[in-house]
């Protein structure tokens, strides 16, 4: 018999984000966030959808946690809305006790069910007051101080029960979609005709540094003042596709694939996990538009010992080099991204959104590469897909989701294979617990393992939700050697 592919203590569950599910934006003392503003722009930038009600998790969390129990989940990853805790966001602004009480209810309800809470401090919902006050993420010095204070409040109020912290969710998306393409809040771009403000050539790189230093301040604070007593762990969730050369015989495409991953992942992972400067390829292309780290900042990064690498993974692509020099507004590393290679071979089977194809083989390579580079235990903090055509399906059609079931199976197998490669991968969170507001795509794509009727807010389990426990358990049992 072989050793089991996944260990008996493999952590698994489901993930959500506050703005996508909570609703109740004007209840419980919550302040406004940048997505409240963005979702109500005219003309609509989010397909006339908003998080005003979303899935109404604020009032229905007990029902939602009953689903977690029904699905057999051992853990649940959710985010705290910064503006529910500190409505105006700043380090000298009042704390909202109603917001504290709400999240205390959530945490206690999970623990009563034997479900481990994993808390994300920031999932894209910056308090609008900070954006108005000093530019939010565009002010590196101010925002990191305010984020540290907010993090400290969360550690103080919840850290006796919360032992797993994630500082930031997908800082790449916040920086690029928020400040380069303008497709996400706060919607700043100099290349997007729908945007009236922004500088695509410079702002995303400033925001990136602000996010990195905010993470570092929050981790350093935990390490210094909370870890010894609370005995928790803290990490960050980074997104990033895996890239292979468009032409496997062209060294320039091989270089482009690696460079694309450096721009996608190394941008944040090098400073956070290695306390090193940005990748050389970024410095070479961006020059002085990429803000430097001071010696003091490198000391802060070195002090911010981060326990685990949270990986949000959905798909992979092919990278083709560009013959011309990159324009100032390029944010990809001067590469073309393709879903088919030079031979016309698709990277994977199409899902229910154009950008996501199922590529479990590349997922294995991605896991192995990331673990080899950064040498931290990996938790998959998001992974999932909508089924082809699911956005137009009836509830009865949507809850029968064989594509999602196969996607989960294949990606769990890839995790097992990467562990055999020597990678340490300790957990998996399926995205998402329920269909929800898919940011600027509104209520179209359905990533949930639970069907949400947006008219009645009724929840209906999909087959994948009920089978995930069995899929994981099957990989924790010894199997005969091949």
DSSP at 289: G
Q: What is the β-pairing status of strands 335-338 and 349-350? A: unpaired
Q: Which residues contact 430 (CB under 8 A, 6 or more apart)?
A: 12, 13, 14, 15, 383, 384, 408, 449, 464, 468
Indicate if the pLDDT at residue 479 is higher than 90. no
Task: Count other C-beta atoms under 10 Å from residue 88's C-beta.
Answer: 18
Over residues 78-82, mean pLDDT:
99
* Cα 350–Cα 355–Cα 357 angle in degrees, nearest 5: 35
User: Which residue has tokens 């969360």?
Assistant: 154
Among 479, 412, 478, 404, residue whose Cα is nearest residue 448: 404
In this prediction, residues 439-444 reach a mean pLDDT of 98
pLDDT digits (tens, 9 = 90+) for 85-139: 999 999 999 999 999 999 999 999 999 999 999 999 999 999 999 999 999 999 9
Q: What is the pLDDT of residue 478?
A: 75
* Predicted local confidence at residue 480, as pLDDT: 47
In the structure, what pLDDT confidence band is assigned to residue 481 with cuts at 50, 70 and 90? very low
What are 362-401's pLDDT values in tens digits?
999 999 999 999 999 999 999 999 999 999 999 999 999 9
The pLDDT assigned to 86 comes to 99
Q: What is the mean pLDDT of the chain?
A: 97
pTM for the whole structure: 0.98
* Higher-scoring residue by pLDDT: 478, 447: 447
Q: CA quadruple 390, 391, 394, 395: dihedral positive or negative?
A: positive
pLDDT at position 3: 57
Tens of pLDDT along 15-37? 999 999 999 999 999 999 999 99
Q: What is the pLDDT of residues 180-214, one digit of tens each?
A: 999 999 999 999 999 999 999 999 999 999 999 99
Q: What positions carry a catalytic annotation?
A: 170, 382
Checking 444-450 for CB contacts under 8 A at 24+ apart, the result is 444/47, 444/391, 445/352, 445/353, 445/386, 445/390, 445/391, 446/352, 446/386, 446/387, 446/390, 446/391, 446/398, 447/384, 447/385, 447/386, 449/14, 449/71, 449/384, 449/404, 450/67
Closest CA to 368 of 300, 424, 310: 424
Say what the pLDDT of residue 198 is: 98
**In the predicted model, what is the mean pLDDT of residues 420-449?**
98
Report whether 178 contacts 185 (CB < 8 A).
yes
Q: Is-cis flag, bond preceding 186, omega within 30?
A: yes
pLDDT at 2 over 90: no
For the cut 80, the answer to whether the pLDDT of residue 4 exceeds it is no
Using CB atoms within 10 A of its CB, is residue 305 exposed (0-12), middle (13-18) or buried (19+)?
middle
Report the alpha-carbon distance of residue 289 to residue 204 in Å, rounded: 10
What is the phi/psi pair of residue 40, to 5°?
Answer: -110, 20
How much is the pLDDT for 65? 98
Q: pLDDT tens digits for 309-365? A: 999 999 999 999 999 999 999 999 999 999 999 999 999 999 999 999 999 999 999
**How many whole angstroms separate alpha carbon 189 and alpha carbon 198?**
4
Share above pLDDT 70 across residues of the chain, in percent, rounded to a whole number: 99
The mean pLDDT value for 220-246 works out to: 98
What would the DSSP string read from start to end of 216-244?
Answer: HHHHHHHHHHTHHHH--EEEEEEE--EEE
Give the pLDDT confidence of 152-165 residue by residue, as tens digits.
999 999 999 999 99
């Amino acid at each position: 018999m072989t050793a089991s592919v996944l260990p008996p203590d493999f952590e698994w569950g489901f993930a959500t984000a506050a703005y996508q599910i909570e609703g109740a934006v004007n209840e419980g003392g919550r302040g406004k966030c940048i997505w409240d503003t963005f979702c109500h722009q005219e003309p609509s930038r989010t397909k006339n959808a908003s998080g005003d009600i979303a899935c109404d998790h604020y009032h229905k969390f007990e029902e939602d946690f009953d689903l977690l129990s029904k699905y057999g989940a051992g853990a649940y990853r959710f985010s705290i809305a910064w503006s529910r805790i500190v409505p105006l966001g700043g380090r000298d602004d009042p704390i909202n006790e109603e917001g504290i009480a709400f999240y205390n209810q959530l945490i206690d309800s999970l623990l009563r069910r034997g479900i481990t809470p994993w808390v994300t401090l920031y999932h894209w919902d910056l308090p609008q007051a900070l954006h108005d006050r000093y530019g939010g993420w565009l002010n590196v010095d101010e925002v990191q101080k305010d984020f540290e204070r907010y993090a400290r409040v969360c550690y103080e109020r919840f850290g006796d029960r919360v032992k797993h912290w994630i500082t930031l969710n997908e800082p790449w998306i916040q920086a690029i979609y928020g400040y380069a393409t303008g497709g996400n809040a706060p919607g700043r771009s100099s290349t997007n005709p729908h945007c009236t403000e922004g500088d695509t050539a410079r702002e995303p790189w400033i925001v990136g540094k602000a996010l990195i230093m905010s993470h570092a301040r929050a981790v350093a604070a935990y390490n210094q003042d909370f870890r010894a007593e609370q005995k928790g762990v803290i990490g960050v969730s980074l997104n990033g596709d895996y890239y292979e050369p468009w032409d496997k015989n062209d060294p320039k495409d091989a270089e482009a694939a690696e460079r694309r991953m450096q721009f996608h992942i190394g941008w944040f992972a090098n400073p956070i996990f290695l306390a090193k400067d940005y990748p050389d390829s970024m410095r070479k292309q961006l020059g002085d538009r990429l803000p430097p780290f001071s010696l003091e900042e490198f000391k802060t990064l070195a002090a911010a010992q981060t326990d685990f690498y949270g990986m949000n993974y959905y798909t992979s692509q092919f990278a083709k080099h560009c013959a011309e020099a990159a324009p100032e507004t390029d944010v990809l590393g001067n590469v073309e991204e393709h879903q088919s290679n030079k031979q016309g071979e698709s990277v994977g089977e199409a899902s229910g959104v154009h950008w996501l194809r199922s590529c479990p083989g590349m997922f294995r390579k991605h896991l192995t590469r990331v673990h080899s580079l950064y040498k931290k235990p990996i938790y998959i903090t998001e992974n999932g897909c909508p089924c082809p055509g699911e956005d137009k399906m009836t509830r009865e059609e949507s809850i029968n989701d064989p594509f999602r079931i196969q996607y989960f199976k294949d990606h769990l197998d890839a995790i097992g294979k990467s562990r055999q490669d020597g990678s340490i991968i300790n957990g998996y969170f399926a995205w998402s617990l329920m269909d929800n507001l898919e940011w600027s795509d509104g209520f179209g794509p359905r990533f949930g393992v639970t069907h949400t009727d947006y008219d009645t807010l009724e929840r209906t389990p999909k087959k994948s939700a009920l089978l995930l426990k069995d899929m994981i358990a099957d990989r924790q049992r010894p199997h005969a050697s091949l």
